[in-house]
Every structure is written in structure tokens, then in C-alpha cells.
Structure 1
Amino acid sequence: MSTPRARKALDGIPVYRPGKPAITEDHKLSSNENPYAPLPGVMERAAAELGRINRYPDAGMTALYEALAERLGVSPDHLAAGTGSVAVLFSLLNAHLEAGDEIVYAWRSFEAYPIAADLTGATAVRVPLRPDATHDLDAMAAAVTDRTKVVLVCTPNNPTGPVVTAAELETFLERVPGHVLVVVDEAYVEFVRDPAAASGLAALAAHDNVVVLRTFSKAYGLAGLRVGYAIARPAIAESIRKATPPFAVTDLSQVAAVASLEAQAALDERVEAIVQERQVMVEALRGQGWDVPATEANFVWLPLGEAALDFAAACDPVSVRPFAGEGVRISVGAPEVNAQLIALAGAWRTARGRSPRT
């Protein structure tokens, strides 16, 4: 008896696995969420939209695009929004990749990349990170062929944390052919403090083939409302919008995002507090002997290899994000929960009686 069958492309695609649930939301350090409540004014503006949820959203996202355009110094036709930057990435790849094409990205990087890439039917070319958990842009440039249509550059890199420098990105862009899209994924850009770090917007200003991805999920604390966007040349932005389902971003989400943009002073204060707490975590973990890569995001990475799952289990009741055989990503949360995690990490090392690197 025959039954309907999904596309063969799905056979090798892993299911996206969210972070492990925690006993409380504060103990969830597995999903890189912002530990703060929504910014001032967001709840009030969002609540006002609840009375009209019987209406379709503004498909043109007019107010959101105007607010972003003013903030970023671009015209609205440079923008394409969707339900989180990951959904925008899916639309972008669907618009620009097909069977026979190639897409290059670093690995380990964002776990949604293989899913988004493989669904298009294109061939993924993974380039290993360098030993310090940074992108090897020389190797990535060498991996570009006449079949390459897209390259993904995640900075800061999720889940390892380091940034690509401006000098590295510029050298890379000079080597990549102009017909290849270079997607600079800046989901964590607000947390970056390294003066040498690359700027996706600066790269876009100098190169027509750059696309910048950003999100309201991390620094702005709107993970539950799903708003992300791309900044690109108008023709590229239009291609993304064409590949995005109509009414993708609700009016509730749009007004919350606009209100968040208007709360810049409060955002800056909260982000700086997270950055300071990040430094506390890095110093404490390194003080215990952990090998923690430089991080410019709202998380830290422990390259534990085969011990990743064992460590994650030992962190209970704090939820962290293990990547089997590779390492563990730990989000920066509330200070008291971070302190609890640091104590658990120290206890784990003591119980093993040897370095987790071995």
C-alpha cells in the first residue's frame, strides 16, 4: 500500500532541538534568552494590539520598516523582515539556492544552517573552525567554487562566541566573487565590545553582495514574538520578501519591535549589564581551569568534546545546551543563576579529578 512521502531532501536533515526545559525560566541557560522582562513601553503597546487580533497584520510592515530604516540609516527597500532572523535566512536561501548550487559555512556554527541549506537541495560545504573557535575565512574563501551561491558568516559565532574582525571580513570579501551572497549573521551584535570586530553594515556599504541578518530575540528580549530582519541591497531584499509568506510578522510583534527601538537607553543599560556578567562568568570559569574561547555574545562555550552530555546532566537544575561530542553553550542569565552554574561547573571538574580537555 503506497503512502505519501516527503521530499528526499528531508531524509538527512536533523530536527532542530530546542534547549532543555528548566525548573524555572531563570534556570534556563540553554537558549540564549534575555533574562530581563520586555523593555519599557513594550507591554503597553503590545497589549493595545490585542483588541484587534481579528484583523490581519500590516503585510507591508510599514511602521517597522520605517523605524528600522531611520535607526540603520537605510531606505525601507533595503529591509526584509520575518519570524525571527532564522526564518529570514530560510527565505533568503529559498530565493537564491537550488539543486546543483553550493553554500559554504563554518562548522560548528548555528545549528539551523544545515537545515535551511539542505532544504533547498543545494550542497553544503562545511569549513571547520580554527582551534580557537573562530572562523577560518582563508579556508572558507578557498572553498568557494563556481557553484557557490551563498556563504554564511556568523559573528559572534553561535555557539562558540568569537567574532570575525573587520580586517578579516574585508579581506574575505575581496576574494569572494561579486555574484556570491555573503550573509553576515549578527544575531548577537548588540553584545559586541571588541573594537576590531567586523560590522555587517559597514561591509554592506562597501559591497553589493552582502546581506546582514539581525534579530529582536536576543538583546531586545522579544524571543517569544519572533521578529528578525535582513538588510541588503534593494533587489536582494525584494527577493527575500518574495520568498516570505504574507503576514509573516503579526502587528503585535511589529508594535513591540518598534517600541523596543524607542527604548534605546534602557536597552543599552541592560545589554551592558549582561556584558559585565558575561565577563564575570568567563573569568570565573577560566579561574577553575576551563578553556573558554573569547566571546562577544550573551553566552560562553566550553569545548568539552565527548564529555559534553555528561557535563550538561551534572548541571541540573540549571539547563545548558550540550552539543554531543563537541561542547556546551551556556547563556548569560541572572547573576544568582550564573553563580549557581559556576559552582556546578567547579564541582564537576573536582569530581572528575582531571582536566575536561582530556
Structure 2
Amino acid sequence: MCGRFALSLNVEDLDVNLKDLQLHVDSWLNAEEYSPSYNLAPQNKAAVIRRINPSENRLGIDCMKWGLVPHWTESAPLKNNNVLKTINARDDKVIEPRGLWNSVKGQKRCIVLCEGFFEWLDKGKDKIPHFVKRTDHQLMCLAGLWDSVTFKGSTEELHTFTIITTSSNKYLSFLHDRMPVILSDRESMEEWMDVSSGEWSNKLGRLLKPFDLDNGLIAYPVPKEVGKVGNQSPDFLRPISQRKGNIMSFFKQQVSPSKPSSSSKSGTSSSNPKAKITAKKGSDGSDSDHVVSATTTGGVVQDEPITITKNECSPPSLNTTAIETKTIHVTVDPGDGLLPTVQNPTNRSSCVTPSPKKLNIKRSASDLSVQSDPDHTSSPEKKARKLP
């Protein structure tokens, strides 16, 4: 069974991902009705590929409501229970030469697009939601059937669809005994969408089989909040172990404080974190350029390279930048003697010749970080989103 799936890509990103599948779609038929969703449920509208005209080869994306309503229906179903019965079509029932699906399987075959689908694992009294997706990060193309109906007293034509299911493959059998039919390659998709004859064939029936690519699918637990219709979150598509706020994620983000430097002097106040600054000579052996790495104890570890040009301070009247330093307790490792040892500096102004690349340098007792001047950064070009 397939009762919930996800398609969170916008129109532009969806078009890019379709090109990766080498599936040419001529146009969107009603793009204004499309809404990306992390949690798409029955009665919601979804992106479905169908033939624009049965006699032509052109494909279009149509936003249809999930839960097939047959064309002979005179009035809208009063209860959702009736629609829920047609969100899925069993493969063995589709193949039969009679029944509900027999009237649409010849000319109204479609492909339902999604990033993956949800299934719930029964574990005692608990139900654990899992998300199933392709390991190659491609879109899932599910085999489906669609129909259109105009209710009595209305002029609006309603398009609805169903997803065909088959037996689970060996990988997903632990989760459920049914799974949607996934069209795995371009050839199978083109064959499924060829409705020019208007007839059903045994060759089409052979496409209705479990997904058979080795290691082609991955399933993992996701947050239980996905069970409530209407809830939307990108966390629904990620393993629960990667969810923000998860206890394991919390520990992964922590950085162990570094131990105090052995060169720290007893006169340093214990209430302030200590910083250790080490300097190395430049690659040419000179002492004009030094790579300085800073590590704070009791705070976040920063290991940002800072280029320092060693020059004599000039009087404030020259083109120099005056920087006011805060009172902090710093233990400096003299290293090779290039930097002096300083403790408990008092408030004063020091002259620093600006380096060729402007840097906004922020220093405090608990954080030493370097940020590039915004004037020297450029915003990256917007790229189409690919599936994670």
C-alpha cells in the first residue's frame, strides 16, 4: 500500500530533475495549482505526467487529486472513505479484464512523480514511520491510472489518479507486503505512457513488478509527526538520527574544550577563558608573514588562518587604522620569538597596518573568529535544487 508520499521540489527544480531522467515533458497544464509538499496525503493534489492528447506523443504535467473518481460518477463522494478505496490499485486487479480499472488502463495511464513514499512499520502497539527513496537520488516515477469526471450540475472537470501497487521486494518486505510500482528506466516509462493503441497488453502487465535494482532503495525511520495530515517539515525526508534536537545530533555538534596551556601563568584570572596563540614562520622562512591559529579553552575552537604583516607602527597622523582592544587575559606562546609574551594588557590603542585583504576580526575571551569583509565577497549563483 502507498498512502503518503513527498514531492517538495518547486516547478523549476522539478523540470531539472526530470531532465536527469531523460524524460521530456512538453508543458505544465496547470502549474498554478501545484504546491510542493513534504507530506502529501489522499485528496491532495500532486504532479502527474499524462498524455496531453491520446493521439499525440506530447507529455504534460497535470495537477490531479489523489484518489480516483470514475468518469461515470454523478456527484462528488460524500465521504472520504469512498475515495480512500481508490488511492491504490492492486496490480492483479489491474490485469484482470474486468472491474473498475478496466475502463481506464487502455488510454489513461500516468506517471506519479515523487521523491519517495512513507510506510509505517508495526512494532508491537507502536507504528514507526519510514521514508523510502532511491539510492541514486533520482525522482521516483510511480505507475498510475487517471480519470476525469464532471459532476452533475457542474462545469468543472476534475482529474483524479490512483497509484498501482505490487508485492514488496526482498528489501522492503520487513516494512510492508505491498509497495508502489516504480518505473525504473526511460524505456519502461515510455512503454507505460504509449497509449496510442488504446488497448491493454500483456507486455504492459509485465511492467507491474517489484523494483528490482540491486540496492536501489533505502528506507529509514523518520519523525512521527509525519503521521498527521497537514504537517509539513523537511525533517520528514531525513533520517530521524539527523534531526535537529536529536540527542545524538547534539553530541555530534559538541567540541571538547582544549586543555589549558602549560605556559599559562598563575597570575591569570580563572574566571576568564584562556586563549593560546601560536605563530609559525612563512613558507619562505621569513618572519614577515605568520600563520596564527587561535584556540580558546572553555569556548568554541577556532582554527582560522590570520595573515599578519610585521611592520613598525606609524603615528596616528599617517594612513593607519587604530584598533581599541578590550581587556582580556591572554597567554601567548612566544614560539620562535617572533611574538612577545603579553599578559593583562590595559586599555590602549595600537597601530596596525591593514593587510592587503580586509578582514573583520572579532576577538573576545570566549571566541576568536575571522570574517571576510562583505565588500570582498560575492553571492553564489542560484542553482537548481537536486534531491538529497
Bin for the TM-score computed over the shorter chain: under 0.3
Q: Which has the higher helix share?
A: 1
TM-score, normalisation: structure 2: 0.23
Higher relative contact order (CA 8 A, sep 6+): 1
Structure of greater Rg = 2
TM-score normalized by the length of structure 1:
0.24
**Structure (1/2) with the larger strand percentage:** 2
